[in-house]
Amino acid sequence: MSEPVDVAPKPHVAHEVHHEELGFWRKYVFSTDHKVIGIQYSVTGLLFLLFGFCLMMLMRWQLAYPGVPLPLIGSLLGEARMPGGTMLPEFYNELGAMHGTIMVFLGVVPLAVGGFGNFVVPLQIGAPDMAFPKLNMLSYWSLFLGGITMLGSFFVPGGAAQSGWTSYTPLSVIAGTGQTWWLIGMIFLITSSLLGALNFITTIIQLRAKGLTFMRFPFFVWAQFVTAFLLLLAFPPLEAAGVMQLMDRVAGTNFFLPSGLVVSGQALTNVGGGNPLLWQHLFWFLAHPEVYVLILPGMGIVAEIIANNTRKPLWGYRSMVYSLIFVGFMSFIVWAHHMFMTGMGTTMAAFFQTTTMIISIPSVVILTALIISLWGGSIRFNTPMLFAVAFLPMFGIGGLTGLPLGLNIADIPLHDTYYVIAHFHYVVAPGTIFALMAGIYYWYPKATGRKMNETLGKIHFVGSLVCMNAIFMPMFIIGLAGVSRRLFDAGAAYAFAQPTMHWNVVSSWGAWTLAIFQIPFIFNFFWSIRKGEKVGDNPWQATTIEWSAPSPPPHGNFVHAPQAYRGPYEYSVPGAGKDFVPQYEA
Partner 1 sequence: MDIPYTVEVRRDTGLTNGKIGIWLFLASEVMLFGALFASYILIRVGAPSWPRGDTILDVWLATFNTIVLISSSVTMVMAWASLMRHRFETFRIYMGATILFGLVFLIVKYFEYSHHIHLGEVPSTNNFLAIYYTLTGLHMLHVFGGMMVNAYFWGPGAKLWKTNPQWFTNRVEHSGLFWHFVDLVWIFLFPTLYLL
Partner 2 sequence: MRGTRNRLWLAGGLVAVLGWPSVAVAAATVTGTVTFAGKPPALKPLAMDAEIVCHKKHGSKPAPNEALVLGNGNTMAHIMVWVSKGLPAGKTWPAPKDPVVLDQDGCVYKPHVMGIMVGQTYRILNSDGILHNIHTLPKINTAFNRGQPATVKEMTTTFPKPEAIFQVKCDVHPWMSAYISVFTHPFFSVTSTDGKFTISGLDAGSYEITAWHEKLGTQTASVTVTGNETKAQDFKFAVPAK
Partner 3 sequence: MTSDHAVDIDKHVRVYIIVFVALMVLTIITVAISRLHLSVPIAVAVALFVAIIKGSLVAGYFMHLVSEKKLIYAVLVLTAVFFAALLALPVFTVSDGYWIHE
Residues of this chain that interact with partner 2 (CB under 8 A) are: 66-69, 83-84, 86-90, 264-266, 488-489, 493
CB of 273 vs partner 1, minimal distance in Å: 5
Q: How many CA atoms lie within 13 A of 231 on its CB side?
A: 31
> Could you tell which of partner 1, partner 3, partner 2, none binds residue 489, using a CB distance below 5 to 8 A set by kind?
partner 2
Instruction: Tell which one of 63, 282, 468, 475 touches partner 1 (CB under 8 A).
Output: 282
> Could you tell which of partner 2, partner 3, partner 1, none binds residue 347, using a CB distance below 5 to 8 A set by kind?
partner 3
CB of 66 vs partner 2, minimal distance in Å: 8
CB of 343 vs partner 1, minimal distance in Å: 14
CB of 138 vs partner 1, minimal distance in Å: 13
Instruction: Tell which one of 41, 51, 165, 285 touches partner 1 (CB under 8 A).
Output: 285
Alpha helix locations (H) across 25-132? 34-64, 73-76, 89-101, 109, 118-124
Burial tier of 98 (Cβ tally within 10 Å: 0-12, 13-18, 19+): buried
> Could you tell which of partner 3, partner 1, partner 2, none binds residue 400, using a CB distance below 5 to 8 A set by kind?
none
- Furthest C-alpha separation in the chain: 81
348 binds partner 1 (CB under 8 A): no
Report yes or no: 395 and 294 within 8 Å, Cβ to Cβ.
Answer: no
Q: How many CA atoms lie within 13 A of 395 on its CB side?
A: 28
Contacts of 99 (CB under 8 A, 6+ apart): 52, 55, 56, 59, 165
Measured in residues, the chain has a length of 586
> Could you tell which of partner 2, partner 3, partner 1, none binds residue 156, using a CB distance below 5 to 8 A set by kind?
none
CA distance 342 to 166: 15
**Residue number with CB closer to partner 2 (69 or 550):** 69
**Residue number with CB closer to partner 3 (193 or 382):** 193
CA distance 65 to 549: 53
> Could you tell which of partner 2, partner 1, partner 3, none binds residue 162, using a CB distance below 5 to 8 A set by kind?
none
Report yes or no: 209 and 126 within 8 Å, Cβ to Cβ.
Answer: yes
Q: Beta strand 262-263 with 266-267: parallel, antiparallel or unpaired?
A: antiparallel
**Residue number with CB closer to partner 3 (237 or 393):** 237
Measured in whole angstroms, the distance separating CA 327 from the mean position of its chain's CA atoms is 17
CB of 35 vs partner 1, minimal distance in Å: 12
Closest among 29, 202, 66, 46 to 116, alpha carbons compared: 46
> Could you tell which of partner 3, partner 2, partner 1, none binds residue 498, using a CB distance below 5 to 8 A set by kind?
none
CA distances from 38 to 122, 133, 187, 555 (A): 11, 12, 21, 13
**Residue number with CB closer to partner 2 (92 or 352):** 92
Report yes or no: 424 and 481 within 8 Å, Cβ to Cβ.
Answer: no
Dihedral (CA of 475, 479, 393, 402) sign: negative
Q: How many residues bind partner 1 (CB under 8 A)?
A: 45
CB of 77 vs partner 2, minimal distance in Å: 14
CB of 362 vs partner 3, minimal distance in Å: 17
Query: HEC profile for 136-163?
Result: HHHHHHHHHHHHHHHHHHHHCCCCECCC
Measured in whole angstroms, the distance separating CA 463 from the mean position of its chain's CA atoms is 21
CB of 237 vs partner 1, minimal distance in Å: 4
CB of 329 vs partner 3, minimal distance in Å: 8
Instruction: Tell which one of 114, 274, 510, 582 touches partner 1 (CB under 8 A).
Output: 274
Dihedral (CA of 116, 333, 96, 249) sign: positive
- b/e 427-452 (16+ beta carbons within 10 angstroms → b): bbbbbbbbbbbbbbbbbbbbbbbbbb
Which residues, 102 to 131, sit near partner 1 by CB under 8 A? 128-131
**Residue number with CB closer to partner 3 (335 or 476):** 335
> Could you tell which of partner 3, partner 2, partner 1, none binds residue 20, using a CB distance below 5 to 8 A set by kind?
partner 1
**Residue number with CB closer to partner 2 (265 or 574):** 265
199 binds partner 1 (CB under 8 A): yes
Q: What's 483's DSSP letter?
A: P
CB of 492 vs partner 2, minimal distance in Å: 9
CB of 269 vs partner 2, minimal distance in Å: 11
Contacts of 578 (CB under 8 A, 6+ apart): 541
**Residue number with CB closer to partner 3 (317 or 332):** 332
CA distance 229 to 232: 5
Instruction: Write out the residues near partner 3 by the rule CB under 8 A.
Output: 205, 229, 233-234, 237, 275, 277-278, 281-282, 285, 332-333, 336, 339, 342-345, 347-348
Instruction: Tell which one of 50, 243, 348, 559 touches partner 1 (CB under 8 A).
Output: 243
Residues that bind partner 1 (CB under 8 A): 20, 128-133, 135, 194, 197-199, 201-202, 205-207, 232-237, 239-241, 243-244, 247, 251-255, 270-271, 273-275, 278, 281-282, 285, 555-556
